[in-house]
Amino acid sequence: MRMSLPCKRIAASAGIVALLAATMAGPAAATGHRPVQRALDTVVAAGTPGAQLTTRGYSLRSGVGDLRTGAPMPWRGHFRAGSVTKPFIAVLVLQLVGEGKVELDAPVTRYLPDAGTGAVTVRQILQHTSGLPDYLDDVVDVDPETLRHRGAEPAELLAFAMKHPPLFPPGAKWSYSNTNYILAGMLVERVTGRSVQAELGARILRPLGLRETYLPVRGDERLPAPHPRGYLPAKDSLVDFTEFDATIAWTAGGLVTTGNDVNRFLSALLGGRLLRPAQLAEMKRTVPRDSGSEYGLGLGKLYLSCGKEFWGHGGDIIGFATLAFASPDGRAATVEANRDPVSPAVHANMKATVDAALCAE
């Protein structure tokens, strides 16, 4: 999101950021992971204070987690996952499909009669083929300081989107819209009669032992320790945006987690521990997306330089950018940077880091 921010800033010129990009790696870097470390260093060199890579076997870090103190990225640090939230929510919906409580090709209005989404189906919201406008388009140019403590209720976010006409008829093509996953979260709550936080805990987090992952409620603005600071670019400086009411993203992007937890989730998902075979197959049925890659139901498919197939998602939310992918054979890697929005070069270098980590195994 591109935003202007007339508020107190933390000085962080490009030159200072470059100076702070010194590598700070764990013992793994000295035992055969130098190419991966070099790839991670390019993420910082491209313009983010710090970055961390977590695989199922080791972690690496680069740059700083706190521009004020110069402290490094903390090991096992918590961060805001952005749209890496979406696979978690898609799993909840698909579990309900497997239990016969939801039909993938039924209209969303069967479960949310007041949604006003017409013929849009459950499958189409999970796959971003609904044609629904993205509610974030209504807040993208808002001064972020007005969003920091604002928060939102799901119905309010949906109302932002529904003020606008559909982008295209349902199913006609692919277009990423965060509105889809607000609807998915509302659907989970309506069908189960419980909060999405309760369903996440009962169905995914506790069974997998993901103790560092949760979806914040309104008013919960702080990250648990340890965590890096998250920064928002504003002209020639960076603003500390760590404290933030992320219910403005809710089930489209509000999750707080760690690299270890994301890797365990993706590995369990692809290993068949969260979904029945029929629902996992549906999740992996893809359509072409506008970037030339493929998208299933809350899960993207990526082919890396080693020619192997990986599944996962990227995430961007004010202060944090994330990329996480895994394979059915147990390999998984998550890289996060403590700045967002970031440049295309940062995104490209994050992908290169994931590629270097996963293809080296």
Catalogue the active-site residues. 83
186 Cβ neighbours under 8 A, 6+ residues apart? 112, 115, 154, 155, 158
Question: What SS3 class is residue 23?
Answer: strand
User: Whose CA is closest to 229, among 49, 11, 12, 17?
Assistant: 49
Instruction: Give the closest residue to 82 by CA, choosing from 332, 314, 352.
Output: 314
Cβ density class 261-299: b for 16+ within 10 Å, e for less: bbbbbbbbbbeeebbeeebbebbbebeebeeeebbbbbb
Token reading at 236: 């020639």
Buried b (16+ CB within 10 A) or exposed e, 76-90: ebbbbbbbbbbbbbb
| SS3 category, 315 | strand
Looking at the DSSP bridge assignments, the partners of residue 233 are 238
Q: Which tokens go with 172?
A: 């006609």
